[in-house]
Amino acid sequence: MPYVLTVDQRGSRRGPDRVGDVLRRLNSTVAAVLPFERTAGDEFQGVLADPGEVVDVVVQLVRLGGWSIGVGAGPVQTPLPESTRAATGVAFLCARRAVDAAKNRPARLAVRGAVPVDSGDAQAVLTALAVLVERRSDAAWEAVSLIEAGRTQAQAAAELGVSRQAVGQRLATGAWELERELRPTAARLLDRAAG
């Protein structure tokens, strides 16, 4: 079941257009069913097949900051066209409603889907994950990035020039273990939200 992300740049009238940079970043790292593309002004959209990838993209966008993120879960009309802008279906309508709702929600994130109760649950878990990511310090991000790249805590400590205990403290302060628990939970709930 596809998932549609509709993402709107916050405060785009007061700052530079960041859509192009984010599109390049996402399209070079994310396996999308339909690539992310600008749909209008400071807004872009993409279609993903895997709910785990949706969670990854949400975390990336939250870490970058400055985005209202709408996730739509549900069926789409097939066959899919070559362009995201030409595609239609329930997931697209849900993503539109979600990005509009996100503008007034904590962490600027909302989920709408074919199954409203599960969409609400997915939204709650993704919002908790987003708040956790938003509050993480740069020092914690350094440690998390190295551990996620496959380093041991001892290797990360050597690269950062700190003790192994300091790396452990950065991971704990950054709630890395909690993030690891929330990610698959959010993906499962997105799967249910799609129906």
Look at the block and give the residue holding tokens 């993704």: 126
pLDDT of 24 higher than 80: yes
Say if residue 7 is in the same domain as residue 103.
yes
Say if residue 13 is in the same domain as residue 96.
yes
Say if residue 70 is in the same domain as residue 157.
no
Say if residue 76 is in the same domain as residue 104.
yes
Q: What is the pLDDT of residue 12?
A: 64
State the total domains in the chain: 2
Q: pLDDT category, 83, cuts 50, 70, 90? A: confident
Say if residue 162 is in the same domain as residue 127.
no
- Distance between CA atoms of 159 and 142, rounded to whole angstroms? 10
Q: What is the pLDDT of residue 73?
A: 97
Q: pLDDT category, 40, cuts 50, 70, 90? A: confident
- Distance between CA atoms of 134 and 107, rounded to whole angstroms? 8
Say if residue 111 is in the same domain as residue 142.
no
Say if residue 116 is in the same domain as residue 25.
yes
150-194 tens-digit pLDDT: 999 999 999 999 999 999 999 999 999 999 999 999 999 999 999
Domain residue limits at 88? 3-131+187-193
Q: At 119, which CATH number?
A: 3.30.70
What average pLDDT score do residues 71-91 get?
A: 91
